[in-house]
Amino acid sequence: MNYYRQLLFIILCTISTVSFAQTFVPIFDLPQYQNRVLQKNDTLYVVNFWATWCKPCVEELPLFQTATIAYKDKPVKIILVSQDAKSRVFGVEQFLNMRKYTTECFLLSAGNPNIWIEKIEPKWSGTIPATILYKNGENVNFHEGDFADQKALEDFIHSKL
Amino acid sequence: MKKLVLSLLAIVSFTLFSMAQNGYKVGDNIKDFSLQNIDGKKVSLADYKDSKGFIITFTCNHCPYAMAYEDRILALNNKYAKAGYPVIAINPNDAIQYPEDNFEAMQVRAKEKKFNFPYLYDESQNIAKQFGAIKTPHVFIVQKVGDKFVVQYIGAIDDNWEKAADVKEKYAESAIDALLAGKPVATTSTKAIGCGIKWKK
């Protein structure tokens, strides 16, 4: 399904005469998630778990969009991980595109949450929003709940930058 | 003297802090409560003279996870109320921030879905705090032992919120089946994604 959607996306981009960035949201399983965030380089990965139905998550998305732009030239990569249902992936794309959010986003569908939540972050109860920092292939900081403001998010990012 | 007061204060604040942070754990005795049901009547655990325990479920109207589980909560009550484990649903959300979770909306939702169990309103949010409930749905399976109510399971109903048909592990059912058979519960706590309970500001 991902392959066809990617193909469709490329075709749509090619034939599109209007050139503006469209967010494509792939569906990842746990190994794909780990491949993306656990990288042996000096980039700090700021990974935010959210969902379109989660009010506090949606309210703090502008902070992540602002950070995406602010850290564009720095070794910082902001990534949104959607916890929407797989069947809602187009809705997630539409949601991000309508708001012109350009932050990288994928949907994590990793099976039994009782297993994958523990693997990703043992301290995490499973409520969203939640944000994890990864550096050099390691989970280096974790924050459960939303951020009060831009400075709170920046302070969190700078804790490991 | 000053030292003693300080250390006492430290102990008291630590106890309060850990209570507020953690709530009940598996094996703890829970305190009975009295909350208003959608029919206006108060419900307490002590009202259920013949039950062997309870499936206490923190849930709400607005959350997609909670909604995805409504039919499964109904099915749990249908299957286990007669066996001695009725469902008691509690909505702890702040109705100011989530008007769709207010008392009237609870009445409407319960009628629409034909809830056959109490749907209680934890307006003060004290019961959710007492339990240490943090999200919806969040299940606490409690066993009656003498005059005590002992927590035997905390967590998710099963392992797949998106598709009931794809469920492999029915955690809540396995816990009750074990209790009914007089066996220890194999998996006593599980994690799941859920909507965080909206606390009053």
| Mean pLDDT on B36-48 | 97
Cross-chain residue pair B193–A127, CB shorter than 8 Å? yes
- Rounded to whole angstroms, the Cα distance separating A94 from A128 reads 21
Nearest beta carbon to residue A114 from set B156, B195, B196: B156
A26 touches chain B (CB under 8 A): no
Among residues of chain A, what percentage have pLDDT more than 90? 84
Residue A114 has pLDDT above 60, yes or no: yes
Residue in this structure with the two tokens 């974790």, named with its chain if needed: A142
Query: Could you report the per-residue pLDDT of B158-191, keeping only the tens digit for each?
Result: 999 999 999 999 999 999 999 999 999 999 999 9
Q: How far separated are the first and last CA of chain A, in Å rounded?
A: 37
What does the block give as tokens for A129? 């929003």
* Ramachandran angles phi, psi of A102, nearest 5°: -110, 0
pLDDT reported for residue A22: 72
The answer to whether the beta carbons of residues B90 and B44 sit under 8 Å apart is no
Global pTM reads 0.85
Q: Which of B47, B24, B29, B33 is nearest to B149 (CA)?
A: B29
Helical H runs in B34-158? 64-80, 103-112, 126-131
B201 touches chain A (CB under 8 A): no
User: A145: left (phi > 0), else alpha (psi -120 to 50), else beta?
Assistant: left
Has the ipTM of the complex gone over 0.95?
no
Q: Which of B152, B157, B36 is nearest to B103 (CA)?
A: B36
| Mean pLDDT on B86-112 | 97
Cross-chain residue pair A114–B194, CB shorter than 8 Å? no
| CA distance, residue A9 to nearest chain B CA (Å) | 26
Nearest beta carbon to residue A126 from set B63, B135, B168: B135
Output the 3-class SS for B131-187: HCCCEECEEEEEEEECCEEEEEEEECCCCCCCCHHHCCCCHHHHHHHHHHCCCCCCC
Report chain B's mean pLDDT, rounded to a whole number.
92
pLDDT reported for residue B4: 61
Report chain A's mean pLDDT, rounded to a whole number.
91
The answer to whether the beta carbons of residues B194 and B137 sit under 8 Å apart is yes
Give the pLDDT band of residue A15 (cuts 50, 70, 90): very low
Nearest beta carbon to residue A117 from set B134, B171, B191: B191
